[in-house]
Amino acid sequence: MSPTVVDTTTYRQGEPLALLLTGVTKIFGGHRALDDVTLEIRPGEVHGLLGQNGSGKSTLIKVLAGFHAPEPGAQLHVRGQAVALPLAPGAFRQHHISFVHQHLGLIPALTVLENMLIGQLAQSNSMAIGWRAQRRNVIEQFQSYGIDFDPDATVSDLSPVQCALLAIIRAAGEMEAGGGRGHGLLILDEPTPILPRKDVEQLFSVVRRVVGNGASVIFVSHDVDEVMEITDRATVLRDGRVAARLETRNATKQDFIEAIVGRRLGEVNHKTEASESRPVALEVEGLFGGTIADLALVAHEGEVVGLTGLVGTGYNEVPYLLYGARPANGTVTLGTEEWDVSRTTPRQSMARGIVLIPGDRAHAGAIGTLPVSDNVTMPVLTSHFSRFALNRSAMKRLALTLGERFDVRPLNPDLPIGNLSGGNQQKVLLAKWLQHAPKLVLLDEPTQGVDIGARQTVFKHIKDSADSGATVLCASSDYEQLATICNRVLIFSEGKVIATLTGTDVNKDTIAEISLGAERKDTIHVAEV
C-alpha cells in the first residue's frame, strides 16, 4: 500500500491545512527513527497516528513539541504559514497547538482548579489571582463539554477517566487561548490504554466537541478499533517511514493491521480446544478479599478463563488474591493440593507452579534499570550461582534462547528492560514466567499498552501455555482480547460473578453488553456464586 503524496499546504477552496509537516528525518546514532515523513492534518478532523512501538510515532510528536530537532530539510506549515524548525521548547503554544501526553501532566496534590490554571499561571506576570472569577470560568468550560467537575476536588481523588478528561479540557483551553478558538490543534498521545470501554466513549464525546468547535485533533493510539471509531483519516508509520494514509470510512481493520505490521495477518484462532471433558485443575471456594465476596470458581486443564467487568467490580483483584500478593481468605485446590489462601505467600505460589504476570509492568513486573538477562532469570537465579558468583555467561545464554523463542526485539540480553517497548517488555515477562511450564497462569491486562504486532505474540504464548496443559485466568478490560483468547468469560459486578459466557457468547459485543449492565438472560448462563 503506497502512501499518498502530499504536495500542497491547502485542503479545499484555498482553505489552509491545520498542519503540514514535510520531509521530517531524525537520526539517533546512525539509526533513522524518522525517514522523510510527511504528516497532513485537515481543518476540523480527527486524524489517527498509528504504528508499532519503535515506528517513530513518539519521535514525530516530540518534533512537533520542540523536544527533538529534525535533520535539515524538514518544513512545517501551520494554517498555511511557514514555521521555522526546530521549534523552541514551548513555542507550539504560539501556534495554538496543545498536547495531552500519556502521563497527563497533572499534579495529584493540587485541586482541579489549580491544575486547570497551571499553564496560565506559569506564563502570567501578575502576583494576584482572581480565584472567584477563575472558578466561574473553569465551571463554564467544563459545562461546555458536558462535564460536571468539582473545581475544589483534589486530583488524587479523581478516577482515571476523570483525570484524562481534565487533561484534555485543560489542553483544549490552552489551545483556544489568545484567539485560537476554531482553528487549533490538539494532540492526544495514547489517552485510552487504562480506560474501560464506557470511559473511552465519554472521552470520545469530549474529543468530538473539540472538533465541533472547529479545531483539529491528532489521536495517537495502538488500538485499531478506537482509531476506526473516532478518526476521519489516519497516518500509519512503520520503521520510521509513512506506510499508509487511510480514509477511515473506506478502510477495513485488516487494511490498518497490514499497514502497521507490514504483512497480512491471518485470522488466527487463539482459543484452545479445552472443554469440560478435560480434568478440573483449579477449584476456588469462599474467596474473600478487597472487593471480592465469596467467589467460587472452577477451571479445567488447558482452559483460558477471562475475568472482566467495570472498574471497581473486583475482577482484576482475583489474580493477586489467589497468588498471595494481597490479603485474602478462602480455599484453593490446584490438582491434588489444597490450601488456605490466607496463609499463602507469592514464594509458596511459585513453588506450587503458579505464576502472576501483573498489569503494572514498570513497577510490579520488572526492574527497569536491570538488563533483560537479570530480569528473565530471576525465578531461576539460584541455578545460575557458581561457587563464588553468578554465572553471567549462562544467564545471557538463557536470555538469548528465551528472547528468540518469545521474539524479543532487539535481542540484546545486556539492554536494560526499561529501554524496550511495552510489547517487548511484556514478551520478556512472559519468557520469565512461562519458561518452566507453570500449572496456573494468572494474568492482569496482558496486552495493556502493547501494539498490535506484539499482541499476536502475547496471544500465541498464552495459547501455547494452555495447550501444554496450564490453566489460565486472564483479568482484562479489553473485550476483544477476551473474545480472542478465552474459552469462558466471567463477568463481575460488586465483587461477585453475575454471568458466565461460553461458546458463541464469548464475543466482544456480548461481553461489553453484559459488563455495561444490559440484560441478556436468554443467551447467558448465570453463574452460581
Sorted by where each begins, the domain ranges of the chain are: 10-261, 268-353+438-452+466-529, 365-437
The highest-level CATH class for domain 268-353+438-452+466-529 is alpha beta
Distance CA(482)–CA(306), nearest Å, equals 6
For the segment 164-205, what is each residue's pLDDT rounded down to a tens digit?
A: 888 888 888 888 776 556 678 999 887 766 565 667 777 888
Q: What is the pLDDT of residue 141?
A: 81
Q: How far apart are the first and last CA of the chain?
A: 52
Annotation: CATH topology of 10-261: Rossmann fold (3.40.50)
3-state secondary structure of 221: coil
For the segment 225-257, what is each residue's pLDDT rounded down to a tens digit?
A: 889 999 999 999 988 999 999 999 999 988 988
Pick the most confident of 103-112, 216-225, 374-383, 469-478: 469-478
Residue corresponding to grid cell 499508509 = 244
429 φ, ψ to 5°? -65, -35
Q: What is the pLDDT of residue 201?
A: 79
Nearest to 38 by CA among 235, 216, 185, 189: 235
Question: Residue 485 is inside which H or E element, if any?
Answer: helix 479-485
DSSP lists the bridge partners of residue 154 as 111
Nearest to 42 by CA among 71, 86, 69, 4: 4
Interior CA angle at 77 toward 165 and 212, to 5°? 35
Counting residues of the chain whose pLDDT is more than 70, the rounded percentage is: 88
Is the pLDDT score of 521 beyond 50? no
Bigger pLDDT: 380 vs 127: 380
| Residue pair 317/290 in contact by the 8 Å Cβ criterion | yes
Is the pLDDT score of 272 beyond 80? no
The domains spanning 10-261 and 268-353+438-452+466-529 adopt the same CATH topology: yes
DSSP 423-455: HHHHHHHHHHHHTT--SEEEEESTTTT--HHHH
Choice among 252-261, 369-378, 455-464, 514-523 with the minimum mean pLDDT: 514-523
3-state secondary structure of 115: helix
Split at pLDDT 50, 70, 90, the class of 31 is confident
Cβ neighbours, 10 Å, residue 20: 24
Split at pLDDT 50, 70, 90, the class of 380 is confident
Instruction: Provide the grid cell at 284.
Output: 476456588
Q: Residues with Cβ < 8 Å from 303, sequence gap 6 or more?
A: 272, 274, 278, 281, 466, 471, 472, 487, 488
Bigger pLDDT: 198 vs 457: 457
Order of all β-strands in the sheet with 75-78: 31-41, 19-28, 75-78, 81-83
Choice among 147-161, 179-193, 322-336, 376-390 with the minimum mean pLDDT: 179-193
Q: What is the pLDDT of residue 403?
A: 94
Q: What does pTM read for this prediction?
A: 0.65
Split at pLDDT 50, 70, 90, the class of 54 is confident
Q: What is the pLDDT of residue 528?
A: 34
* Distances from the Cα of 359 to the Cα of 269, 271, 436, angstroms: 24, 21, 21
Nearest to 489 by CA among 472, 474, 501: 501
Bigger pLDDT: 406 vs 142: 406
Cβ neighbours, 10 Å, residue 322: 27
